[in-house]
Each structure stands twice: as structure tokens, then as C-alpha cells.
Amino acid sequence: MGAYSLKKFKLEGPSQTYKVQAQVYGYGAEKGGEKVKEVAIVGLPRAGGSLDEMWVRILKYDRKVAIAALDRVERIAAEIAHPATVPGMGAARRFETADDCRYCPFSLKNDKEMMRGCPGS
């Protein structure tokens, strides 16, 4: 993580996106035969030669969070594949966006109509 993101991680904890991602990884491990009780999110400094700035957050594993996230992906895929889908980013209008999606390749803050990109939240 860059300095800003790592500082935010330390002060506010991991974003919802990271929390869900960790649960999905835990679900994958469980499906692979592991017994998963907790998942961890590790914030590593991008710059510097020391791990002294590393931060770890441990969460209780919740398979329901992972299943809900994977179901959402399937609903989005089905929506996009549907022949009646509105041109542009129409399908995305019906799904909630994250607050940390600025690095998404579809991020386009000024496209409020979502014709070429997604303004995020």
C-alpha cells in the first residue's frame, strides 16, 4: 500500500471491499478442504525497506459474506448478458458501487448517466 492508503488502513481499518475479498479467499480455502475460522487482511508498505509499518486485521470468517459476493457477481454477469441490457453501463446502474473504486478501469467520475463509465459512489 502507498503511504496514504496504509495510513487510512491503520486509522479506519480495511475497506468493505477488502473485507469481502478476504471472506471470498477464505471460502475458496474452505472449498479446498481447509478449516477456516478467521481471515486476515495485511497492509504492507509499498515503499521502504522495513515491515515495521505493516498492519494486520483479523476477521472472523463468514461464508455468508463470500456467497453473497459471488452471487452478486453472477447476477451482474447475467444482467450484462441479457439481450435487453441498456447500452453503455446500464446494467451497472442497478448494483451498488464501492467507495474505494477509483482505480477501477471503468471509473469515470463525470459520467453521471453511466454511458461510458461509472461515477462510483
Cβ atoms of 62 and 38 within 8 Å: the answer is: no
Percent share of the chain, pLDDT over 70: 73
Most confident of 43-47, 59-63, 80-84: 59-63
Least confident of 2-6, 34-38, 39-43, 98-102: 98-102
CA atoms of 50 and 53, how far apart (whole Å): 7
CA distance 63 to 74: 17
Where is average pLDDT lowest: 14-18, 62-66, 107-111?
107-111
Q: Which pLDDT band holds residue 89 (cuts at 50, 70, 90)?
A: low
Kindly state the cell numbers that stand for 88.
Answer: 453503455
Q: Give one word for 113, left, alpha or beta, with left for phi > 0 and alpha for psi -120 to 50.
A: alpha
Beta strands in the chain (DSSP E): 38-43, 55-60
Under 8 Å CB-to-CB from 59, ≥6 apart: which residues? 19, 22, 23, 38, 39, 40, 41
pTM: 0.74
What's the full length of the chain, in residues?
121
Residue 10 has pLDDT above 80, yes or no: yes
